Amino acid sequence: MPLRPGPLLLLLPLALGLGAGARAQTLDEIRRSGTLKVCIWPDYFGISYRSPRTGALQGLDIDLSRELARELSARVEYVETDFTRLLDDLQARKCQVAMMAVGVTAARAARVDFSTPYLRSDIYAIATRSSRAVQTWDDIDQPGRIVVVQKGTYMEPLMQKTLRHAALRTVERPQEREHEVESGRADVFITDYPYSRRMLMNTDWARLLAPSRIIQLTDYAYAVPRGDASWLQRINEFVAQIKRDGRLAQTADRHGLLPIVARD
């Protein structure tokens, strides 16, 4: 005879946030508060970047988050994070959506829900113009080379899996990748298309190394806390609409990101 759950067992899913009605509906939260809380990484050039000169936020996802907030009749409240803290911040509901070109990986998808993709990028390397040892992509994975990645980015597990001969170094602080390479302590750092543009536009020492073949095209999407189907559907509707009406392409073009727009 099956056991009937006692009162404590019935309440346990609610206490853990696992029940169907346990989590407050995000759209209702936004309507009540009049605020859309958006997680951003303010060091992501072209995406969600805080200008060191003016202090103003700029980039593709800054513009598009304001579009989303306008459609929801809400104001935007930005919650600054990075890729080491993002999943925890979403699960703790510090923000209702991450609009910071989050690379879709299986590990991340186990913890948060992703929208349909809106960008798609391969990886790139940044070396110094003066480097004699590393002049093409094929020079990177060689004995004695040091490759740097930012902790928490999808490049970290990708390079752990990909590199066979070069040593991998993981850094945490903003601009630490650049400093390691510019100083000669590392040969290259691995990044994506948006951040590579920052290096080429704002330094005179950086050399872009594009892969000689596709390494891994990664979809970028918006991430939301798991379990709120209506909120995920609303975000997907927003992505579909900005693709149809041209806002995504126009905004991406304004920030130099048109080549990586996901049109499907």
Residue-wise pLDDT for 179-230, tens only, equals: 999 999 999 999 999 999 999 999 999 999 999 899 999 999 999 999 999 9
Average pLDDT over residues 9-33: 60
Q: For residue 110, give the DSSP letter.
A: T
Average pLDDT over residues 82-109: 97
pLDDT in the model for residue 173: 87
pLDDT in the model for residue 23: 55
Average pLDDT over residues 171-186: 94
Q: Which of 4-8, 69-73, 75-79, 105-109 has the lowest mean pLDDT?
A: 4-8
User: What are the beta bridge partners of residue 190?
Assistant: 125
pTM: 0.86
CATH topology of domain 123-209: D-Maltodextrin-Binding Protein; domain 2 (3.40.190)
> Burial, 39: exposed, middle or buried (Cβ in 10 Å; 0-12, 13-18, 19+)?
buried
Tell me if domain 24-120+218-260 and domain 123-209 are identical in fold: yes
SS3 label, residue 146: strand
The residue ranges of every structural domain in the chain are 24-120+218-260, 123-209
Burial 118-143 (b: 16+ CB within 10 A, else e): bbbbebbbbbbeebeebeebebbeee
pLDDT higher than 60, residue 37: yes
User: Which among 103, 76, 79 has a CA at the least distance from the CA of 89?
Assistant: 79
CATH topology of domain 24-120+218-260: D-Maltodextrin-Binding Protein; domain 2 (3.40.190)
